[in-house]
A and B are shown apart, each in its own frame.
Chain A
């Protein structure tokens, strides 16, 4: 979505793109995800990953975490446009580099092969808190939680151990310390 919204401007200058994590609190009602996602596609914004689930059963509030890229102006527009949606309660945004925020993705890897390969795979995952969710003589299902680029790397590295299937979530985020998102 590099171009400006004005039909009159050609983007001559290459503006800097930042990766932002946008957290949106919404009423968990029919079609709400379509509204949020439709706003992104309709206005030409980018979605790198998306995670959504209800977080408050009583108030029926869902929390959507969106990883997006854009110039500062575009990111600002994304926030302002999101706030205009009727079921949106709150929008928070921070840069990926932000040290005050933790964000994590989860991945499931299925490895099929002889025992030594299965062991090797588990070992390779050691840095990312691997959990062995399923084990047979011929296969493993390993769960890890890590950063996007770490999971990207593992998806490549595990190929040699017999990786046959990858399933992964979008990023979720939480502030460090006692603070919460405002």
Chain B
């Protein structure tokens, strides 16, 4: 007879077989049996966070930077509800997470027991799937299935809720099934005909553009390589969403920069005027499309996505290819080489006018800003940070707001999995714990959270985690004392009524760093900025960098609410001429 294991042991045996090496968690009454077993599984390292939301975002950072699923362990009730924001964030941005939560013993479920909540009920709309394990014999199979659901198809978070009595009960352990049965949820069944159509469209187009997104990153590093190959082979321009940054080199001439609400002038105008749009792993999100009925009116649209429900959701497309980016790109390249081996040559002439037009848009230099010698402009701070770190293969996380957009605009990424930011949900407080997760996955690399002072205060407690595990993350705060993006919208839409967007009693971030037993650095002038950044980079400990920037700088260029791509506000001067009125005011 084979050995019997307790539910708690089975949790870790499953993790061993799923190659988990780090979990992020916080103990509590309903998971104590699992924590009791932790010491017996040496290959699995536990990172103790300071709040369960931090565990969730750390697991996200870990997952996005490593390509492996992030694993979270939390207790029942408040432990589970605290992780809901991170699960929703991961659901929106398609990040594979496996969350194990404790639950009150089965006989107490439904009695409003201490620290009981309907965890599977609460997390049902923000996970790909979740399970309440009521029978010990289902436990191993369920956990293996959870990893499979999280990582196959369009990735996303899952949750397994385990009552405390199940953690004590004993049964045999079941290994994961070798053969992966996908219950029809993985979609990779495109046919050669679609690929031929795509190539046909590409060879006919004179104003093409690639519009790529997070799906390229999620498909693995190989997808980014193939994308580069395809973009070079075609000579087409390429733009990327916020989530897709890094899949194509940010400093390449064919790259037009990010598109969307705070995208570049050339990227948005090219999207508007193109005759062929090839969407690879993006989802026509409202930050991207602007006014939907005037979105790229004259183009044929191709959509490559692994999720069939993304097709025709917001924008109707002419050719849909449902499949994994990596597989689709590799088929496309193969066919392209066979059928049109001289594609680039034959195409150069055809697209030359298009490139001229793009160069004209480029010459507007939409990311330029008015510099200053007295105050640090936030864009300047990011530019300097980029220049001083670009040779270091650094990993960047962000919070949410103006600083996030400036980082996306001014920091150039050359590799996938180097850029971790909360896009879909827009979670302030994401970046610091995400940086913790990234540093856990890459102990030797430089990890920087480009932060705003308002966002970072939402999860600042995780500095304590960073110090405990000697994770030398750098928190680079663009401190303007305002919730900058809120202030900007109030300026543009609400007659400068800055209602509650100023933080009157901010902590002294340098002293705060000292209180956490890490290093605080402050920069006040452009003159001292470089030296201070170098000081930060030379510090092998966690750093909070308080970069005092211009308080009222706005993030431009910007597609104002309710406007299409070709009506951008380019800068402060433009702002007066293009006032947002009427229906545009009611949009988010």
Is B124 close to A, CB under 8 A? yes
Q: Are B587 and A8 in contact (CB under 8 A)?
A: yes
Please report the total number of A residues contacting B with Cβ < 8 Å: 24
Q: Are B121 and A4 in contact (CB under 8 A)?
A: no
Is B86 close to A, CB under 8 A? no
Q: Are A7 and B587 in contact (CB under 8 A)?
A: yes
Is A38 close to B, CB under 8 A? yes
Q: Are B291 and A86 in contact (CB under 8 A)?
A: no
Contact A76:B312 (CB < 8 A) given known A8-B286, A86-B149: yes
**A28-62, CB under 8 A of B: which get 1 and which 0?**
00110011001000100000000000000000000
**B289-306, CB under 8 A of A: which get 1 and which 0?**
111110000000000000
Q: How far is the CA of A5 from the CA of B289 in the complex (A)?
A: 12
Q: Are B292 and A6 in contact (CB under 8 A)?
A: yes
Q: Which residue of A lies closest to B293 (CB)?
A: A9
Interface SS of chain B: helix, strand, loop or mixed? loop
Q: Are A86 and B289 in contact (CB under 8 A)?
A: no
Q: How far is the CA of A31 from the CA of B109 in the complex (A)?
A: 15
State how many angstroms separate the Cβ of B416 from the closest Cβ of chain A: 25
Q: Are A84 and B314 in contact (CB under 8 A)?
A: no
Q: How far is the CA of A4 from the CA of B587 in the complex (A)?
A: 13
Q: How far is the CA of A10 from the CA of B293 in the complex (A)?
A: 9
**A52-94, CB under 8 A of B: which get 1 and which 0?**
0000000000000000000001001100110111100100000
Q: Are A5 and B314 in contact (CB under 8 A)?
A: yes
Return the contact of A42 from the options B125, B128, B132 (Cβ within 8 A): B125
Q: Are A77 and B309 in contact (CB under 8 A)?
A: yes
**B129 surroundings in chain A (CB, below 8 A):** 85-86
Contact A9:B308 (CB < 8 A) given known A34-B124, A77-B313: no
Contact A8:B289 (CB < 8 A) given known A31-B124, A34-B121: yes
**B301-342, CB under 8 A of A: which get 1 and which 0?**
000000111011110100000000000000000000000000
Is B583 close to A, CB under 8 A? yes
Contact A5:B185 (CB < 8 A) given known A34-B121, A86-B129, A86-B149: no
Is A136 close to B, CB under 8 A? no
Q: Are B583 and A10 in contact (CB under 8 A)?
A: yes
Q: Which residue of B lies closest to A78 (CB)?
A: B309
**A7 surroundings in chain B (CB, below 8 A):** 286, 587-588
**B66 surroundings in chain A (CB, below 8 A):** none
Q: How far is the CA of A80 from the CA of B128 in the complex (A)?
A: 14
**A116 surroundings in chain B (CB, below 8 A):** none
**A80 surroundings in chain B (CB, below 8 A):** 308-309, 311
**A6 surroundings in chain B (CB, below 8 A):** 286, 289, 292, 314
Q: How far is the CA of A10 from the CA of B561 in the complex (A)?
A: 12
Q: Are B185 and A86 in contact (CB under 8 A)?
A: yes
**B309 surroundings in chain A (CB, below 8 A):** 77, 80-81, 83-84
Which chain B residues (540-565) contact chain A, with CB distance < 8 Å? 561-562
Which chain B residues (124-160) contact chain A, with CB distance < 8 Å? 124-125, 128-129, 132, 134, 149
**B363 surroundings in chain A (CB, below 8 A):** none
Is A12 close to B, CB under 8 A? yes
State how many angstroms separate the Cβ of B509 from the closest Cβ of chain A: 34
Contact A38:B289 (CB < 8 A) given known A8-B562, A77-B313, A84-B307: no
Q: Which residue of A lies closest to B153 (CB)?
A: A84
**B588 surroundings in chain A (CB, below 8 A):** 7
Q: Which residue of B lies closest to A13 (CB)?
A: B293
Q: Are B124 and A38 in contact (CB under 8 A)?
A: yes
Q: How far is the CA of A30 from the CA of B130 in the complex (A)?
A: 11
**B132 surroundings in chain A (CB, below 8 A):** 30-31
Q: How far is the CA of A34 from the CA of B121 in the complex (A)?
A: 8
State how many angstroms separate the Cβ of B380 from the closest Cβ of chain A: 31
State how many angstroms separate the Cβ of A16 from the closest Cβ of chain B: 16
Q: Which residue of B lies closest to A12 (CB)?
A: B293
Q: How far is the CA of A42 from the CA of B121 in the complex (A)?
A: 13
Could you write out 24 A-B pairs with CB less than 8 Å apart? A4-B292, A5-B313, A5-B314, A6-B289, A6-B314, A8-B290, A8-B561, A8-B562, A10-B562, A10-B583, A12-B293, A31-B124, A34-B121, A34-B124, A35-B124, A73-B312, A73-B316, A80-B309, A80-B311, A83-B308, A84-B128, A84-B308, A84-B309, A86-B129
**Which 4 A-B residue pairings sit nearest by Cβ, starting from the closest?**
A80-B309, A9-B292, A86-B129, A6-B286
Add 6 more A-B contacts to A8-B290, A35-B124, A84-B185 (CB < 8 A): A8-B292, A10-B562, A10-B583, A73-B312, A84-B308, A86-B128
